Amino acid sequence: MKDFIVRSSLAGLLIAFAGVLYLQCENKIVGAVLFSLGLLSVIVFKTNLFTGKVGYISSFKDFYMGLLMLALNLAVAFCFGLLYRVCIGQSAAVDARLLKEWYRILFDSVICGMCVFLSVDLYKRTSNIFTIILPVVAFILCGGEHCIAYAFYLGTGNITGTALLYLVIMIIGNSLGALLLRFLSFAVLPKAKQT
């Protein structure tokens, strides 16, 4: 259990680190490429990132562990966001998302969930790091919403009831996107090797 907690906490930290890289870049494309370092590190270090594992949940135990993983990912990312706010300053990352309607947040979260599942599953099948990077760059440039990164952004900005509601919507959307792609891909493709 200690290993699980450490790996889940590290995953939240790596995604928060990716969020810092993204916020510090003025160029959106460069920021998207740098953000992919977060998921790349998560996969290579074999940490427990909710959005990378939710597509593989297949039992009640997996579901329970997924909730614990999610809580740890969110808590660490949020705390790192608070640290960012104290050291660097407040960001408007959450405010920009609050301009979207809830159904747009859900749609963008589903897209992100699909892309993260695609990154993880393609890497399991090919061991090619570009299969991690390209889907991450795609979801960022398309406006996808990643719940763990958003927890980091929450720490850096204003926390409102709507902002928290959007976090719940993102968790649901990321999960739906990953599970949908898993269902469709497993229906037509052979199972990926485990890494």
pLDDT digits (tens, 9 = 90+) for 27-52: 999 999 999 999 999 999 999 999 99
Residue 53 inside a domain? The answer is yes
Report yes or no: 105 and 169 within 8 Å, Cβ to Cβ.
yes
Could you read off the pLDDT of 21-31 as tens digits, one per residue?
999 998 999 99
Side chain identity, residue 51: T
Residue 132 inside a domain? The answer is yes
Position 121 pLDDT exceeds 80: yes
Residue 194 inside a domain? The answer is no
Long-range pairs, 132-136, Cβ under 8 A, ≥24: 132/36, 132/39, 132/40, 132/43, 133/33, 133/36, 133/40, 136/32, 136/35, 136/36, 136/38, 136/39, 136/40
Report yes or no: 19 and 149 within 8 Å, Cβ to Cβ.
yes
CATH code (residue 69): 1.20.1080.10
Number of structural domains, the chain? Answer: 1
Instruction: Using pLDDT thresholds of 50, 70 and 90, give the confidence band for residue 194.
Output: low
pLDDT, the chain, mean: 92
Residue 36 inside a domain? The answer is yes
pLDDT average, residue stretch 137-155 = 96
Residue 193 inside a domain? The answer is no
Provide φ and ψ at 134, rounded to 5°.
Answer: -60, -45
In this predicted structure, what is the pLDDT of residue 158?
84
CA pair distance 76, 12, nearest whole angstrom? 5
Position 170 pLDDT exceeds 70: yes
Residue 49 inside a domain? The answer is yes
In this predicted structure, what is the pLDDT of residue 58?
85
Residue 137 belongs to what domain range? Answer: 2-188
CA pair distance 150, 146, nearest whole angstrom? 6
Task: Name the nearest CA neighbour of 141 among 115, 167, 118.
Answer: 115
Helix crossing, 60-87 with 2-24: angle to 10°? 40
In this predicted structure, what is the pLDDT of residue 22?
94
Residue 195 inside a domain? The answer is no
Residue 178 inside a domain? The answer is yes
Cα 37 to chain centroid distance, Å, stands at: 12
Whole-angstrom CA distances from 4 to 28, 92, 98, 137 are 34, 33, 33, 28
pLDDT average, residue stretch 117-138 = 92
